[in-house]
C-alpha cells in the first residue's frame, strides 16, 4: 500500500471555498489493493486514499528533482457537512494561482480547481462522474503546475478503489 498513518490528513472539510488540513489521522480501518480506508469519529468522516505509484516533475521540458510533501488522491465522506464522495487531490506543493489540475482516468480528462496545495472538482456532479470513471478505470494521472512553474504528473493505481470507496461510504452513513 505504501501509506503510513501519518500520510493521511483527517478533518479535511473540502468545499469549493475552503480547503484545510487540520490534523493527522491514524485511524486506518482497512487496505483494499493500492487504497486505504480511514475513519474518524468526531466529526464523523471517512475516506479512501492512495499515494502515487509514479511521479514525474518537469520544468522547461526537462525532468527535475523537487521536494514535495504528501501527494494523495482521496474520495472523502463527511455526512454532517453534506460531503458525499468528494474527490480530492493534494500535490504536496502550492499550485500556481488560478491554475487547474487535470485528472486523467484511462483517457478521460476531468478538471479540478485548486486552492493552496489542494484540488477538487467544482461540484457534486463532477465528483460523481470522476468516481464512476475511477471505479471503472485502471489508473488516474493528476497533472498540475506549481507556483514555481514546475509541472507534476502523479500516476495512481485504481486497483482496490471500488472496494475502498464502497467501504468508506458504508462506514459514514
Question: Per-domain residue ranges for the chain?
Answer: 5-171
DSSP state of 107: T
Q: Is the pLDDT of residue 153 over 50?
A: yes
Confidence category of residue 21, pLDDT binned at 50, 70, 90? very low
Q: Tell me the whole-structure pTM to 2 decimals.
A: 0.85
What are 65's three cell numbers?
A: 528533482
Strands 151-157 and 62-63: unpaired
Q: Which of 86, 61, 82, 70 is nearest to 165 (CA)?
A: 86
Per-residue pLDDT tens over the stretch 108-148? 999 999 999 999 999 999 999 999 999 999 999 999 999 99
pLDDT at position 39: 94
Rounded to the nearest integer, the mean pLDDT of the chain is 87
d(CA 57, CA 153): 6
Of the CATH numbers 2.60.120.10, 3.90.1640.10, 3.20.20.100, 2.60.40.1880, which one belongs to the domain with range 5-171? 2.60.40.1880
Amino acid at each position: 500500500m505504501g501509506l503510513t498513518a501519518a500520510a493521511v490528513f483527517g478533518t479535511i472539510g473540502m468545499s469549493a471555498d475552503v480547503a484545510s488540513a487540520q490534523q493527522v489521522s491514524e485511524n486506518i480501518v482497512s487496505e483494499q489493493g493500492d487504497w486505504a480506508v480511514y475513519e474518524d469519529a468526531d466529526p464523523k468522516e471517512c475516506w479512501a486514499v492512495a499515494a502515487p505509484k509514479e511521479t514525474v516533475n518537469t520544468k522547461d521540458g526537462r525532468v527535475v528533482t523537487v521536494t514535495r510533501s504528501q501527494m494523495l488522491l482521496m474520495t472523502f465522506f463527511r455526512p454532517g457537512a453534506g460531503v458525499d464522495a468528494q474527490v480530492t487531490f493534494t500535490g504536496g506543493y502550492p499550485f500556481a494561482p488560478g491554475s487547474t489540475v487535470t485528472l486523467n482516468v484511462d483517457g478521460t480528462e476531468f478538471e479540478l480547481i485548486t486552492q493552496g496545495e489542494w484540488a477538487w472538482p467544482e461540484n457534486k456532479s463532477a465528483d460523481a462522474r470522476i468516481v464512476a470513471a475511477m471505479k471503472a478505470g485502471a489508473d488516474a494521472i493528476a497533472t498540475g503546475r506549481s507556483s514555481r512553474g514546475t509541472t507534476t504528473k502523479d500516476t495512481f493505481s485504481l486497483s482496490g478503489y471500488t472496494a475502498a470507496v464502497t467501504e468508506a461510504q458504508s462506514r459514514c452513513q
